Structure 1
């Protein structure tokens, strides 16, 4: 994508103060590159905080490193990010550049790759935090797919609530809130697995709460999935939607919030499968993308690299990994970058070079 086209994105952003840059899936080379190029431009426009779709508790390691702390970039990428999102060469390049900049970093998300509150609770100096670690230990896991859902308990929820309500330090309160939101998120997943409707989306609620926690009037860049940043609720199944982080942020910030979707017409993307021998309990693999679905933004824009204002878009779906998310695109996003071809990051293909066929959309 040409520099002039990315400059056009900055023009579309205008005076927005909270700018969310999306992606339709994680571990995609082009998305990492485009996000970095946009971040450099936004830094020149006075943006001074980066919030990323990764654990808030873990993010303290990244922020300390960016301000001159010890360690190499691969170590910080591994230990300072959840869901393996700091492992790619694209992320390492962006982090290395950030270390030369006066930018504060924060994770936005619940702790422990969505499976364990330990990292959040261990950062709180309180006897109740130690009690909470013991109370949540029966269900804590590397990620949400491995959680023993029959071990979730009202006792753990009560201890987490008591901990949060006992604290005075704003950071510790937010850490405890993250552990509590994770507890609720796991209950939501358990309900969905049982075929029951849910009322909320606690991960998204926490990401929006983290933005508000960080906000002191400065300009903030967010890097989160398209489904999290969209301005309207996210459809998790036909006929059932839940609030997205972007729907909370849109309501709070209005035109100060800008939602930029990143998507692609073809190429390859990633999938996940459980692997308890892996560091985070899952393995990421590469798979082919199918043709754009009828009525999708990708079909509407065609197989080209392009930047578009979405006010007049008629699209009613957008890529979500190798599947499709039903949404009125013009209502969900302010603008989009479409890339003709996507490639999975070499951080993934080096581990698993085989390409798996994707299921039909």
Structure 2
């Protein structure tokens, strides 16, 4: 028993099936953005319950799309499958098996496949304009996005191909290795920036004039611009690359909401470190922001609901180092005094907490360590995986699982892990 026992009893509601999420749907109300976190990228319960809530938001509340911590080109293949676009795969699971970038299991898993098959079935029963999409927010796909731009222009705007080729050829000498490009920017700071800006301006203007027909090409150009800034910022030796990445994801989310039109609403799936407001953690001391904070600032806190996830013990899918083969690892019981240890004493085994507005209890005001597991994980060093957190300020609600298990990856063929390791490790 902990000193928070009475507060935990009052705050937590046991959950057994998606119908138990009604209280959270009531809290979401008319909010335009709902961000659903995860304490790791490899836990079944986080993915399963995130999908369960998202199904209800789409089917019952008319949410327009899901935007995930993934690459735009990869997720665009899934979007084609779930929105029944001509020429796209008839089975979203097939689109997931094409994922190549390490860690492939982050999206190429059976839990996401089940959700995407449901989404395709849902979309098949509504009009084309009402179909919910599936999109990537992340910044890594520099070369893939360049190739997608070239393909689009060759088929639709051949007169604009030279502009895209200039950008592509500028990056060509680096053999699709971001480390090579990042190192080169130390000696020539602008490097390919001018070519990227020219391409982005052109596609931005055309998208403004043409709307939907140019949106994918424009977004790929934004990815190229964001990736170029991201890799260049890595060489500065500080943590600003984190901010470049999260500001790119925030801007992509806003473009999606604008693209889907007035009244559109979006669900975001990302790690707790991106979703939970950075101002309620030690990230703020380091000068870091994240998409949860940026969304609250952009749309207002009443239009954004942030939901965190946590677990006490179990198993998780992760790698021993960046690019290593995935494996099922143990998640040891949480360190004493942490949020997870406190909840394990007094909360139901599976529980939902929706935080009240206004006056806060000690549990929601005190700073407690909150576990964050990346795609690189060492269980024997778990005590170092905790983010100091003021729970009631970081999230609006929390889903808790006393015991959890690793998710089930689908078969993929990962390529060499060329991408730089993210900070913090793999989130």
Spell out the pairing of 1:175-186 with structure 2 (5 A cutoff). Answer: 175-186=220-231
- CA distances 1:140-192 after superposition (whole Å, capped 9, x unpaired): 657x6x66632345221221122112222332333212111112222333334
Residues in 1 aligned to 2:228 and 2:175: alpha-carbon distance in whole angstroms: 10
Structure 1, 306-315 or 54-63: larger mean CA deviation: 306-315
Is the contact made by 1:27 and 1:348 (CA closer than 8 Å) also made in structure 2?
no
Spell out the pairing of 1:100-249 with structure 2 (5 A cutoff). Answer: 100-102=121-123, 103-111=131-139, 114=140, 116-124=141-149, 125=153, 126-139=161-174, 141=176, 149-152=182-185, 154-167=190-203, 168-170=205-207, 171=215, 172-192=217-237, 196-198=238-240, 201-215=243-257, 216=261, 217-233=263-279, 239-249=285-295
Structure 1, 69-78 or 229-238: larger mean CA deviation: 229-238
CA deviation after TM superposition for structure 1 residue 54, in Å = 0.9
Show the counterpart of 1:300.
342
TM-score (norm 2): 0.71
- Partner of 1:221, secondary structure, is strand
Residues in 2 aligned to 1:98 and 1:117: alpha-carbon distance in whole angstroms: 28
CA deviation after TM superposition for structure 1 residue 117, in Å = 0.7
Show the counterpart of 1:257.
304
Is the contact made by 1:28 and 1:342 (CA closer than 8 Å) also made in structure 2?
yes
Residues in 2 aligned to 1:324 and 1:236: alpha-carbon distance in whole angstroms: 11
Is the contact made by 2:272 and 2:309 (CA closer than 8 Å) also made in structure 1?
yes
CA deviation after TM superposition for structure 1 residue 98, in Å = 0.6
In terms of fraction of residues, the more helix-rich structure is 2
Distance 1:241 1:319, change over 3 A: farther
- Partner of 2:31, secondary structure, is coil
CA deviation after TM superposition for structure 1 residue 260, in Å = 0.4
Residues in 2 aligned to 1:10 and 1:234: alpha-carbon distance in whole angstroms: 24
Is the contact made by 1:227 and 1:234 (CA closer than 8 Å) also made in structure 2?
no
Residues in 2 aligned to 1:209 and 1:269: alpha-carbon distance in whole angstroms: 31
- Partner of 1:26, secondary structure, is coil
CA deviation after TM superposition for structure 1 residue 200, in Å = 5.8
- Partner of 1:212, secondary structure, is helix
Show the counterpart of 2:316.
269
Segments of structure 1 that go 5 or more residues without pairing to the other structure are: 276-280, 352-361
Q: How many residue pairs end up in the alignment?
A: 338
- Partner of 2:201, secondary structure, is helix
- Partner of 2:65, secondary structure, is strand
Show the counterpart of 1:50.
66
Is the contact made by 2:31 and 2:303 (CA closer than 8 Å) also made in structure 1?
yes
Distance 1:204 1:328, change over 3 A: same
Show the counterpart of 1:62.
78
Root-mean-square deviation over aligned CA pairs: 2.9
TM-score (norm 1): 0.83
- Partner of 2:69, secondary structure, is strand
CA deviation after TM superposition for structure 1 residue 94, in Å = 0.7
> Which protein is bigger by CA-based radius of gyration?
2
- Partner of 1:266, secondary structure, is strand
Show the counterpart of 1:326.
388
Which protein has greater RCO, CA pairs closer than 8 Å, 6+ apart?
2
